[in-house]
Amino acid sequence: MSYRTRSVRQNPRRNTGRKASRPAPLPTERQRMSRSMLLLVVSLVLMVVVFGRVVYIKAVHGEEYQQRAEQQQLSSTDVIIPSLRGSIYDRDGNVLAESVRVYNVILDPQALIEAGESKQINTVETLMSVLKLNDENLIRKYISPEYQEYRYLKLDQGIGISAAQMESIQMEIDAGRVVGVWFEEDEERTYVNNSQAAHIIGFNGAYGVEQYYDEYLQGTNGRKMVVAGAGNSFIDEYVAAQDGYNLTTTINSKVQYDMEQTLQYGVARLNAERGLAICMNCKTGEILGYALCPTFNLNNANELIGLSEKYTKNHPQTENDPDYYANVWNNWGISLTYEPGSTFKPIFAAAAMNENAFTEDTVFVCGGTYQIYDAEVGEDSGHIHGTQTIRQVLANSCNVAMSMISENMKTAKWLQYQDAFGLAQLTGIDLAGESGDSRDLVYISAEEAEKRGTTNDMGPFEKATTSFGQGFTLTPIQLISAFASVINGGEYVKPYVVSQITDSNGNIIESHSKEVLRYTIAENVSRKIASYLQAVVLEGTGLNAQVPGYSIGGKTGTAEQVGASGTYEDATYIVSFVSFTPVEDPEIILLVVLDRTDQDISSQAARLNGQIMEKILPDLGMYPDPSLFQESISPNSVDVASGISGYDYGEAQRQKEQEQQEQQENNGEGGED
């Protein structure tokens, strides 16, 4: 069929009697090639333009469009599943700190908007009811065009909800009445007893064992990859979280409570700026109780507790003090260095006796002062103690006699004991923030001082002042650790707070127990010094520390505060008392420190120590023996501040003994008649 014939048939109305037009000639091969080339060029130009536009959009608006695409088409959310931080227990398994699983409410506004008004109303009402909200706009504001492209929004009012709340909402989700809502797992740290043992525990990974054992407590987070498309979601990957390990501490909660309550009362009554009490098993190094005042609420660290009048005066809260709270959070029992005063005398005496610098029969004559080259050592208030043995030297806390002992103690030997007792060394206690590791804190040999370019070398006078606890500094934990070795048979044991680390199934990861770091003195010397220290409580400066039914040994200590300028501050003292029981075989040691008192009230520190001892010993299963100290006065029957107001417990005890003696003499005379 010809081209003409096909055209006529397709257009019959063209055959109208007029002469038919001639068809256009067919294109030549050259024309076809030209057209093809033109089409190719146009196509290439268009491709270049489109490619250029794509490059421009990606460079200028790429991030914006990518976010829109992810929100509108495919949303990929990598969700962290937090591990539960390990729990902390006391020695009896009572919970001190724990983490619980909580949930965060996540909204999918796009799904909620697309669900329609009926389900929106149900969803809003359910969330308001479970979350106890009064304003529906807190949720409804997200059901708006402004949020229609969002697939993930953490609801501020739904952070950290309980498992019960989550399950209540989930039931409505499963029933199809709530849409556009899902949950993220989270954790909440809770400290069961609020402020109890705050400086031992620490909070949120800071301070105390929380910081020291953080790598054990924190665990390993899990991971959940959620890929959400329009109208559906699915889990692409899931890695379970591994909860942290648990800590069992050496703390006795009953002891801890009694120590804290008594210490806070004592600090307030004695007008101290702050106070500290440490109770340790001197045989093993276990810390049984550890109280500081002021302290803080672990569940709200900015809530400070036990602020004394003097503390508030010396540390007013101001906007320009960034360390106001940190000063209370700080554990100064392991970080504050201070002059121990007379509490150090038994330590020096033990070393000297161990080196045969004197015997228990050696006689010392105190005339009130003692000359050492061109310097003089004197007694407090000019006391003259006369003729004494070492038992009386410690009972009277005689500086003159201690200076005499120091002359018989070779300097090189004492420097060795200084190291053995851990002076200027960290104890290694497992609490964050320990300090006191500096040779500048103590006197050193002349050779070492020359090498270091310092002047704190130990001459005869420095050795004498060291013997009664002045001219050098240590921390409270260093003092109680050194003192413990003097009375426990000569073992310097490492103090510790955590006895066991376990996993969530109860498997033991690590165990801590008694660790003897070194030996200080012979056991027989230790037994003698312990017995001499009982005389301090029976007839010396520590009379106030007597506890009826217990054999108590101890030592008072008073030192003037060293100010920022490096000189002693007038009428500002740090007083302390160390006690232990039973004297025959010491097990419990207690250190009480009152910082920045305005009077020399070491006798009151002794009474406060006795009050704490009387309360905590039954907590430890140590009950009074009726045959011991039946006539002594309970320290808890006398107000801790009564000595300041005129009542002298020690004088009252002496008067009572004198009356008894006179009565006996009178009875004897009556018999002769």
Residues 351 and 301 grouped into a single domain: yes
* Cα dihedral 476, 477, 479, 484 in deg (nearest 10): 140
* pTM for the full predicted model: 0.82
Residues 522 and 618 in one domain: yes
Same domain, 326 and 452: yes
Q: How far apart are CA 389 and CA 38, in angstroms?
A: 123
Pairing between strand 508-511 and 516-519?
unpaired
Give the C-alpha separation, 361 to 634, whole Å. Answer: 33
Q: Do 319 and 206 belong to one domain?
A: no
Token pair 């890695």: residue: 239
Please state, in angstroms and rounded to a whole number, the distance separating the CA atoms of residues 329 and 259: 18
Which among 347, 356, 368 is positioned nearest to 418, based on CA atoms?
A: 347
Sheet holding 222-229, edge to edge: 74-81, 222-229, 232-239
| Residue 509, number of CB atoms within 10 A of its CB | 11
Count of domains observed in the chain: 2
Residues 425 and 488 in one domain: yes
Same domain (yes/no): 420, 490: yes
**Tokens at residue 306, please?**
């036990």
Contact residues for 663 (Cβ-Cβ < 8 A; gap 6+): none
Tokens 């030549």 -> residue: 28
Q: How far is CA 79 from CA 166, 173, 223, 402, in A?
A: 17, 20, 6, 68
Residue 633 and residue 607: Cα distance in Å, rounded? 11
Instruction: Specify if 143 maps to a domain.
Output: yes
SS (H, E, C) 258-324: HHHHHHHHHHHHCCCCEEEEEEEECCCCEEEEEEEECEEECCEEEEEECCCHHHHHHCCCCCCCCCH
Same domain, 523 and 656: yes
- pLDDT, mean over the chain: 87
Residue 419 domain flag: yes
| Domain stop point among 202, 230, 249 | 249
d(CA 39, CA 46): 11
The amino acid present at 290, given as its one-letter code, is Y
380-428 residue pLDDT tens: 878 899 999 999 999 999 999 999 999 999 999 999 999 999 999 999 9
pLDDT value for 421? 98
Of 111, 103, 109, 100, nearest in space to 79 by CA:
103
pLDDT of residue 652: 47
Residues 159 and 219 in one domain: yes
User: Of 199, 230, 249, which one is at a domain's C-terminal end?
Assistant: 249
Q: Which CATH number does the domain housing residue 580 bear?
A: 3.40.710.10
Cα distance between residue 555 and residue 546, in whole Å? 12
**284: number of Cβ within 10 Å:** 22
Q: What does the block give as tokens for 509? A: 């990861």
pLDDT digits (tens, 9 = 90+) for 249-260: 999 999 999 999
Residues 352 and 209 in one domain: no
Could you say which residues of the chain have pLDDT below 70? 1-32, 42, 48-77, 226-236, 562-567, 570-571, 629-631, 643-673
Is the same domain home to 654 and 516? yes
Burial of 315 (0-12, 13-18, 19+ CB in 10 A): middle
Identify the domain boundary among 249, 279, 302: 249
Q: What are the residues whose beta carbons fall under 8 Å from the beta carbon of 349, sequence distance 6 or more?
A: 390, 393, 394, 402, 405, 467, 529
Q: Is the separation of the CB atoms in 378 and 470 below 8 Å?
A: no
Backbone angles phi, psi at 272, to 5 degrees: -90, 160
In a domain, 669, yes or no: no
At residue 151, the pLDDT reads 87
381 occurs within a structural domain:
yes
- Same domain, yes or no: 467 and 323: yes
In whole angstroms, how far apart are CA 631 and each of 546, 549, 607, 608, 616? Answer: 10, 10, 17, 19, 21
Domain of 229, CATH number, reads: 3.90.1310.10
Is position 303 within any domain?
Answer: yes
Please tell me whether residues 225 and 292 are part of one structural domain.
Answer: no
**Residue 219 belongs to some domain of the structure:** yes
What are residue 203's DSSP bridge partners? 206
Count CB-CB contacts under 10 A for residue 547. Answer: 26
**Within a domain: 376:** yes
Does 84 reside within a domain? Answer: yes
> Tokens 């648990």 sit at which residue?
246
3-state secondary structure of 622: coil
Q: Which of 149, 104, 151, 142 is nearest to 123 (CA)?
A: 142
**Encoded tokens for 589:** 């040691």
Domain containing 432 equals: 287-662
Tokens of 273: 């700026």
